[in-house]
Amino acid sequence: MDNYLSELTTEEVNKDTQNIDECNTEEMLILINEQDSIIHEAVKKQIPNISLGVDIIYNSLKSGGRMFYIGAGTSGRLGVLDASECPPTFGTDPQLVQAYIAGGDSALRTSSEGCEDDSEAGVKLVQDCKITSKDVVVGITASGGAAFVLAAIKESNEIGAATIGLVNNNNSKLSKICDVCIAPIVGAEVIIGSTRMKSGTSQKLVLNMLTTCTMVKLGKVYGNLMVDLKATNKKLYERARHIVCLATGVDDITALQYLELSNRNAKLAIMMIKTGLNVNGAKSILEKHDGKLKDSIKAATA
């Protein structure tokens, strides 16, 4: 075994689950659930580093930069999942938060684990995406040693982009080459080396935090309402209606009327209802305040 790999926490034998193959179904589930309970504390310990990561991402996006997730295997798939949810949830341009996995899109469905060893592909990806010094790149790899991710981060550093690492081991190779390293240490996996389990779950929690907190800071949320959602199907249209009602106190019919006036833009509909402005007036003030609804309402009603 590779010396680096053999020294990783995620590759250790979990003493609490050594006899899982002798357990009945319920006993196995209890063991897995007990191990999962470790994850939240591990993520909590990383909040200072997650906070640094959020501020780096926010400053980048606010200044016209983009965010890139680059990962391999489970880590890469989780990055793609998080990035793909940003446009419908927060109304972002699909180019704002992008995600790439070693082996390309086909690796999302079919395992292409050998691709994580391709350093040249990592460098080429950064070049093909035309990453610049305004952008931020988040490398995700449980081991912290996937060559594809390491190469992409090194290339991003050369360009001057901000770099963040998300790993599940201390003293990883990735931690030594990124600006901020987020490392929730969840311990040995239930099944040795199966980082789709505790490691993957901790990564999903961190990715949720990175994008959600960044979008809140960018004004994509009013209170805790996701007012920038894109109402692209029946469910989301109903959700937009509900959000307008919650934010303004109007009835369903009024909410739907304003949603139609605003071209299904919940934030704009709320702004119009709260201020009495027409579409153009409400839109103009929102633009002046970077889309931040509370600031825009205060300015319009001062």
- Which residues are tagged catalytic? 85, 116
Beta bridge partners of residue 71, listed in sequence order: 101, 140
Q: Based on the number of CB atoms within 10 Å of its own CB, is 22 exposed (0-12), middle (13-18) or buried (19 or more)? A: exposed
Residue 99 pairs in a beta bridge with 69
Q: Kindly calculate the radius of gyration of the chain based on its CA atoms and give it in whole angstroms.
A: 22
Measured over all CA atoms, what is the biggest interatomic distance in the chain, rounded to whole angstroms? Answer: 69
C-alpha to C-alpha distance for 123 and 259, rounded to whole angstroms: 45
